[in-house]
Structure 1
Amino acid sequence: MPGGRNTNQPAVPGAKRALEQFKMEVANEIGLAGKIQTVGYENMTSRECGSIGGWMTKKMVQLAEQALAGRVQQ
């Protein structure tokens, strides 16, 4: 994004810190945490950043499915 301005806001107020932590956990799992710490997001490829977002989405969908399945079984 030109100028490095990210205008995305969490849907739930106060979730920003948890999402940042989750992002770093996912980056660590896929081997990109070190690169984030050395060069920062702004110097990573779109593919690398997209991989982090994709894995985050996959994990969040899994958590939602588990929550829904638990609600149905009760």
Structure 2
Amino acid sequence: MAKNSLLVPQASAALDRLKFEVASELGIQFSQDGYNGDLTTYNAGKIGGSITRRLVEIAEQSLGGAQTFRK
């Protein structure tokens, strides 16, 4: 059983599109055959961090531009 199961299963396709979009923007190529075991931890972290940043921005916008708290 996966720990990271989606709360909204219908969001899976949108998250996949976002993953490929972010990777493309960062210049990171995914394998055409679906195997990405050679993806470096650094690049995977860049993709994940960028996705998280983008999702936070989307959430802030949907909340009406709520104030962002940064250190």
TM-score (norm 2): 0.74
User: What RMSD over aligned residues (CA atoms) do the two structures have, in Å?
Assistant: 2.0
> CA offsets per residue over residues 9-56 of structure 1, 9 Å max, x none?
222122111111110001011111x2x125842111111101100000
Partner of 1:20: 16
For residues 1-74 of structure 1, what are the structure 2 equivalents within 5 Å?
Answer: 7=2, 8-32=4-28, 34=29, 36-37=30-31, 40-69=35-64
Flag structure 2 segments of 5+ consecutive residues without an equivalent.
67-71
Greater per-residue helix proportion? 1
Question: Aligned partner of 2:59: which letter?
Answer: A
Q: Which runs of 4+ in 1 moved over 6 A?
A: none
Q: Is the 8 A contact 1:26 1:52 kept in 2?
A: yes
Q: How many residues align?
A: 63
Flag structure 1 segments of 5+ consecutive residues without an equivalent.
1-6
Question: Aligned partner of 2:50: which letter?
Answer: W
